[in-house]
Amino acid sequence: MNWLVSIPEFLVSEILAVPAFLIGIITAVGLAALRKGVGQIVGGAIKATLGFLLIGAGATLVVASLEPLGAMILGATGAQGVIPTNEAIAGIAQAEYGAQVAWLMILGFAVSLLLARFTPLRYVFLTGHHVLFMATMLTIILATAGYDAWVTVLLGALLLGILMVSLPALAHPWTRRITGDDSVAIGHFGTAGYVAAGAVGQLVGKRSRSTEETHLPEGLRFLRDSMVATALSMALMYVVLAVLFLVRAGEEEAFTAFADGATGVGNYIMMSITQGLQFGVAVAVILFGVRTILGELVPAFQGIAAKVVPGAIPALDAPIVFPYAQNAVLLGFVSSFVGGLVGLFVLSAWLNPALGLALILPGLVPHFFTGGAAGVYGNATGGRRGALAGGFVNGLLITFLPAFLLSVLGTFGSENTTFGDADFGWFGVAVGSAARIGAVGGIVVMALIGLAVLGLAVLVQRKVVDARWDPSPGRPWPGGAGEDEPAAATAGSARAHPRIAPPKGAPAPPPPPA
């Protein structure tokens, strides 16, 4: 009977948990539904897979370039505490609950497809690694609360499937503000931070210009290239923190910030500059991967929409919005990190002494990806001020929420790491608190929480998304279409707005289905 465990574990760990393979399969299915030739199907699937591998390669480069910076920050500030890392806590849990996580993830994906087919929520969540992380968190919460394995899998799958179709709908009015059409949605469990960023941006930035409207003197025009601006900004940040670390800790400790070690002060400074420049390269790779995947996946989804889930919209990872406001990504990242530092101060000065909450250190990787996306959402509704305020609010959320989440993770709450993005926090605390009510009562309350989220998403879809509600009336739409959104697009359809051009460098939206 080992094959009953081995097969789902293989499907999860080797295929469904690898976004590149999942995206390639979905693209092939979509192109096949459009009755494309074998060559087009194979070529499109491979290109879509390569696009996601490019995103993964860029993400790996980002992590590698941020690791020394994190060591410098901790060394310069002397801060100690828990760094939220989704991959770390999921890896620890796999050793004990691997089979339950596998079945929960597979059934959760099936539930999401059924909900997408038979409800107004036509979103197909394709960020496979985040689905794995959420499945792991739900397994930890339910299993450590004492529920049987079959209850954990079935109830967890229902909750997971609901989240996969609901959260993209809740964020879609703001996502559409960024993209200008309904061709893609956000499929990432940092949605609460993005919605908060869009809402805060609307409050603070009604007259603020977009981050992309940068007017520079002729001698500084080279800074309009986002890769150059990002690389120089990060190189400057590296040098400043490297000097602070060197002054505080001395040469012997500071030189160990880099894996190979620095041989002298000059080498130490130049290695810092190099890491900053490599960060710019990493972001450029991510942006190219996003453009590649969109060019293949969005047209293929016409076939999915026609044959499987009518009107289906792919919900993709956070970097999918990066090309639409590349300057906002950097602003959001920096302001999110500042928010994390402010949140750490509040935890250490108040919440830790009063409630015993753990100190959550600002991990640069979650602050870059979720903070960067929050900056894009804030910019869409509030320009530069919105990008800064939205990133800051996201930074607070991914600092406070993980601190509260640790209390419902049972024995895993003492592993010195936890889940980092906003939706893991609020949903985990809600489900974890309900799970501790008791067997029957806990199941009922958790089911009601899931139904409440689903009901809210359906209401938002019908009354807000399909009604073409504009979260920031009066601001220009992408491509300079003017202050009002074109009314030509059909409510609820995946057609692009005909008068809205895609942002510079972003792929053009697909033509309307025949």
Query: Is the pLDDT confidence value at 486 over 80?
Result: no
CB contact at 8 A, 214 and 327: yes
pLDDT at 513: 38
pLDDT exceeds 80 at position 9: no
Mean pLDDT of 167-194: 95
Do residues 299 and 513 touch, judged by C-beta distance below 8 A?
no
3-class state of residue 190 by DSSP: coil
Q: To the nearest whole percent, how much of the chain has pLDDT over 90?
A: 38
Tokens 């000097």 found at: 243
Q: Please report the pLDDT score of residue 400 as a whole number.
A: 96
CA distance 16 to 273: 38
Strands (E), 357-412: none
**Averaged pLDDT for residues 59-83:** 74
Mean pLDDT of 363-382: 92
Nearest to 121 by CA among 172, 179, 155: 172
Per-residue model confidence (pLDDT) at position 13: 67
The predicted model gives 21-29 an average pLDDT of 81
Query: What's the pLDDT score for residue 224?
Result: 60
313-316 and 185-186 strand pairing: parallel
Buried b (16+ CB within 10 A) or exposed e, 431-467: bbbbbbeeeeebbebbeebbeebbeebbebbeebbee
CA 47 – CA 52 distance, rounded (Å):
9
**So where are the chain's domains?**
2-465
Q: Measuring CA to CA, how many Å separate 436 from each of 365, 430, 445, 463?
A: 32, 10, 10, 35
The DSSP-derived string for 13-68 is IIIIT-HHHHHHHHHHHHHHHTT--HHHHHHHHHHHHHHHHHHHHHHHHHHHHHHH
Please name which of 280, 283, 269 lies closest in space to residue 238, comparing C-alpha atoms.
269
Res 495: pLDDT: 35
pLDDT at 498 > cutoff 50: no
Which region among 9-23, 254-268, 279-293, 429-443 has the lowest average model confidence (pLDDT)? 9-23
pLDDT band at 306 (very low <50, low <70, confident <90, very high): low
Cβ-based neighbours of 326, under 8 Å, separated by 6 or more: 212, 226, 230, 283, 287, 505
Q: pLDDT band at residue 427, thresholds of 50, 70 and 90?
A: very high
What are the beta bridge partners of residue 316? 186
Least confident segment among 22-36, 319-333, 369-383 = 22-36
Please tell me the predicted confidence (pLDDT) of residue 59: 74
Judged against a pLDDT cut of 60, whether residue 501 lies above it is answered with no
pLDDT at 302 over 70: no
**Is the predicted pLDDT of residue 95 greater than 50, yes or no?**
yes
Q: What is the structure's pLDDT at 91?
A: 77
216-240 b/e (C-beta count within 10 Å ≥ 16 → b) = eeeeeeeeeebbebbbbbbbebbbe
- Cα 369 from Cα 387, distance rounded (Å): 14
Of 215-224, 289-298, 384-393, which has the strongest mean pLDDT? 384-393
Instruction: Identify residue 412 by its one-letter amino acid code.
Output: F
pLDDT at 65: 79
Predicted pLDDT at 56: 74
Is it the case that residue 386 has pLDDT exceeding 90? yes
Its pTM stands at 0.80
pLDDT at 322: 92
Query: Looking at residues 154-174, what average pLDDT do you find?
Result: 97
Q: What are the structure tokens assigned to 71, written together?
A: 């060591």
Q: In what order do the strands lie in the sheet with 185-186?
A: 123-125, 313-316, 185-186
Q: pLDDT of 207-226, one tens digit each? A: 888 888 866 566 656 656 66
- Rounded CA gap, 279 and 237, in Å? 11
What pLDDT was estimated at residue 100? 86
Q: Which residue has the tokens 């190099």?
A: 274
- 475 C-beta neighbours (distance < 10 Å), count: 22
